[in-house]
Structure 1
């Protein structure tokens, strides 16, 4: 493991920093996430991750290739981060993003920041407007701290809320990314375009300096130790166990993936709001909706397509941004999170 991190450090030292002067800030909104820690406390808890600012270079001019071309170097079991919008599908291989963490892309006519933190196993998308995101080289709760190149404000990826800079306290608009396998993504989206290894940087995209997801080993093992301190700890699950996480302005929830697979459909409440969580067996992820009590869902009639899940009882429900993440990181940001570990009937 030590040799792997030395290799990563050398590669990052050779990176060329990206400098971009822009006038337009990213698209921001009033944040709809609970803040268990004050902005000041979070700023104080930020730590250096090793590489300096832009030492991990974001991909600003992504190139793409066909599924047939990607099949030449991607294994069906390799992890990809998928995104679909307005008829366009993208696949961002984890083995590329582990070296870059951010792709500034345009999908379906909308500029989006595709972000991935290998230390927390989290992939989140954000509407970026005319701005771009870069990697600050700093971490909060072991999680990627991004910065926007227009204002230099800093954003922990898992929160999407600025903890410093001119946009302090403002939130980013989330976009749903899918953490799945290459086999599953191309089956759902046979027309997808795939991020090319022709990134403009010299990296060994055949290997992951932290370990492997195919099979799971190294840093990604559920029982392996984390590398950086966190603001809160919770031992209800192994630290690196993956959960499906979502939240509203006051509360947060995490659903264990084994429980979701077993249940297929779950109902739960956060405060006064009721939610419906549906397992997608094709992508092995979950879709979350605001759902009033008493709404009938015919599990056998559910259909899974490019836009997610549909079927009787789903029409008109408000989708809720959700994503998969390592348990320790989610619990560090949301120590009061509700955890669903056992299968619950709909």
Structure 2
């Protein structure tokens, strides 16, 4: 009978490990198509725990009736350690916590320098910026911009910043970080417990599988460039509770992180190389960051439409636009986009109060992430 105690202990420990293994960046776990197995284990976790605990209890008296009762004691202590580690230490929502307060500073109030890279959201004349050095730890920040609820998300393993409206079937929803799949962060909604992918807002498993969160337009730029274009903008203030967790020197945003999962490859078209991914309808194309830095203006085509990708003098602020014709050549004078006799800022807004340029969705991302979640993408090589 004592074998039941040991069998139950081993099975319970193995379950607790696997319950986390499939949705955290552990060796081999993120290269498998295991999301459905992971969801099955997670949603049935209490069934597994109860069954394996009953098996243990069936043999506990026999196990502790031997002269070497310290052996089952050690096994039990090891099991409790595994349960604690894989439920209260190594789970995503215990490692990366949402800010307790979300407060903002104006241009003259913030302690951040102008080179700080931010994800900005604008709505109804309200412009708010979220520093990557903060949100890459939190993974999500829930806020209201110009009266519209948003969830600002970031995955530093994919280098993906996305902003969504937290609406599921038209109803407000709350989310928690649950883990990752194919190296991309996943969130769980509070109502149905479905799992949602950060990079595209799609529910990948659970009752709402196939549903997609509405994306809110966002743009990545430096804080200095933001305040130059929009003096009334505000930037998220650091939550003092998490000061030790923040990348206060901005190593990640500048490509200087040394972590195996968050490092940057200086060569082009490697897994950890930077690209600017541009989307138009169902079509997408990736542009090499090194080439963009070298030329600052890239002319190309996407889905048959002439496009241009531009990069600021600060080497961080970028944008993509449609061009009116294949022959139309764009230039950058300092950070002014010059198209013929027209002048625009880096948001495509005319300095002459004329019509704006047509912006395209564009994102800075690691190449491994872009090609994984845009399998049909073109690459501007």
Contact 1:56 1:135 in 2 (8 A): no
SS in 2 for 1:258: helix
Partner of 2:197: 156
Partner of 1:281: 312
> CA distance change for structure 1 residues 133 and 120 in 2, over 3 Å: closer, same or farther?
farther
TM-score, reference length from structure 2: 0.63
Query: How many angstroms does 1:303 deviate by?
Result: 0.6
Partner of 1:269: 302
Is 1:217 the equivalent of 2:248?
A: no
TM-score, reference length from structure 1: 0.69
Partner of 1:80: 118
Matches within 5 A, 1:16-95: 41=33, 43-44=35-36, 50-53=90-93, 55-59=95-99, 61-71=101-111, 74-95=112-133
Structure having the higher helix fraction is 2
Matches within 5 A, 1:72-221: 74-129=112-167, 131-198=172-239, 201-204=241-244, 207=247, 212-214=252-254, 216-219=256-259, 220-221=262-263
Partner of 1:243: 275
Higher relative contact order (CA 8 A, sep 6+): 1
Residue 327 of structure 1 is aligned with which of 335, 358, 367? Answer: 367
> CA distance change for structure 1 residues 144 and 334 in 2, over 3 Å: closer, same or farther?
same
> CA distance change for structure 1 residues 45 and 276 in 2, over 3 Å: closer, same or farther?
farther
CA distance in 1, matches of 2:242, 2:356: 47
Q: CA RMSD in A?
A: 3.6
* Residue segments in structure 1 that go unaligned for 5+ positions in a row: 1-39, 225-234, 342-346
SS in 1 for 2:108: helix
Query: How many angstroms does 1:128 deviate by?
Result: 1.9
Contact 1:60 1:104 in 2 (8 A): no
Cα offsets for 1:105-129 (capped at 9, x unmatched): 1112211111111111111111224
Cα offsets for 1:158-188 (capped at 9, x unmatched): 1221112232112222223222322222222
Paired positions, count: 285
> CA distance change for structure 1 residues 172 and 317 in 2, over 3 Å: closer, same or farther?
farther
Higher mean displacement: 82-91 or 282-291: 282-291
